[in-house]
Amino acid sequence: MTNSQTMGITQPTLDSKAERIIAKVFAWTRVLLMTTVWVSAGLFGLYILAFYAAALYQGNLERWNEILPGLYDQSTRKATMGIGLHFAMGGIILILGSIQLIDTIRVKYLTFHRWVGRIYVVASILVAIGGLIFIAIKGTIGGIVMNIGFGLYGVLMLLAAVQTYKYAVAHDTETHRAWALRLYALAIGSWLYRMDYGFWFLLADKAGHNNTFTGIFDYIMAFFFYIPNLLVAEIFIRSQNSRKMSIWLNLAFTIVLLVMISFLLLGTYYFTKFYWGPAIVGWLF
């Protein structure tokens, strides 16, 4: 017998070493993805406040129609109030939600985390209610398919916000964090909606899209901007102890997340340079 066998020590196999390495890479990839989302969604949140909320504050709501035709209609003031609330609170949750996911703040500054969390949950509820009010009164530009897709999005956000608060109050930390991740995945949906359209226009020359948002691509996007996010959130939730996952599953998830990171970095650069950045700078200065 070898010396290690005599001493009762089991040498790690090549597979176990590879598994540990891939698990560590997967963990760092998750951190990189969250950082990328944090920065990009934060910039988009500032853009929302700079463009939509500022237009509401200045009383120049016609500016909304520059981006989304028919969004503002003077004859439907209740719908306008609902979508205005949706935009204002949307910018807030994109910024606050990213802060809530920072481990250092959550651990070292628990009181701050809880108070920001309360604001975040209330803002998320108002986002959902504001959007649902607009859909109920006026409907979306894309008709029944977009109404269903966006309506389901609002209901899911409302549910996730209530569940996040419910389990926080119950001191069920694990379930609370799971629902908080789902809520964040939904919160960044409006950001990804713009990103997806931007890339599609660039790569596919607007194929499947028309001005009334009733093209095949528009119908897909009515659901695609939040359902994949929820699937990614479930990966995060179930991979908290990634060593229990198979080596091939870890590797597959790592590759998928790296592709997503590349996509988001490129999109963030493009949108910040041509859209978000100028609007934010003009608002602040």
Please enumerate in sequence order all residues whose Cβ is within 8 A of that of 188, keeping only pairs 6 or more positions apart, or say none.
37, 41, 94, 97, 229
165 in any annotated domain = yes
pTM of the model: 0.77
* 141 within 8 A of 68, measured Cβ to Cβ: yes
Looking at residue 244, its pLDDT comes to: 52
The candidate with the shortest Cα–Cα distance to 153, out of 139, 134, 132, is 132
- The Cα–Cα gap between 259 and 38 comes to 17
One-letter-per-residue 3-state SS of the chain: CCHHHHCCCCCCCHHHHHHHHHHHHHHHHHHHHHHHHHHHHHHHHHHHHHHHHHHHHHCCHHHHHHHCCCCCCCCCHHHHHHHHHHHHHHHHHHHHHHHHCCHHHHHHCHHHHHHHHHHHHHHHHHHHHHHHHHHHHCCCCCCHHHHHHHHHHHHHHHHHHHHHHHHHHCCCHHHHHHHHHHHHHHHCHHHHHHHHHHHHHHHHCCCCCCCCCCCHHHHHHHHHCCHHHHHHHHHHHHCCCHHHCCHHHHHHHHHHHHHHHHHHHHHHHHHHHHHHHHHHHHHHC
7 in any annotated domain = no
The overall longest dimension of the chain from CA atoms, in Å, is 88
52 in any annotated domain = yes
Q: How many domains does the chain have?
A: 1
5 in any annotated domain = no
67 in any annotated domain = yes
Hey, what are 247's tokens? Answer: 């080596």
Looking at residue 5, its pLDDT comes to: 47
Looking at residue 8, its pLDDT comes to: 42
Looking at residue 68, its pLDDT comes to: 65
Taking CA atoms, 164 is separated from 106, 177, 182, 220, 259, in Å, by 15, 7, 9, 28, 29
Question: Per-block average pLDDT, block size 10, for the chain (285 residues)?
Answer: 45 62 77 82 80 71 68 72 78 80 79 92 94 92 95 97 96 92 90 86 90 94 94 79 59 79 86 82 74
Residue 147 CB-density burial (10 A; 0-12 exposed, 13-18 middle, 19+ buried): middle
283 in any annotated domain = no
The candidate with the shortest Cα–Cα distance to 178, out of 189, 167, 191, 190, is 167
Please enumerate in sequence order all residues whose Cβ is within 8 A of that of 78, keeping only pairs 6 or more positions apart, or say none.
133, 137
Looking at residue 176, its pLDDT comes to: 93
Looking at residue 51, its pLDDT comes to: 77
- The Cα–Cα gap between 12 and 252 comes to 23
Q: Hey, what amino acid is at 177? A: R
| Domain that residue 220 falls in | 45-238
254 in any annotated domain = no
91 in any annotated domain = yes
Residue 63 CB-density burial (10 A; 0-12 exposed, 13-18 middle, 19+ buried): middle
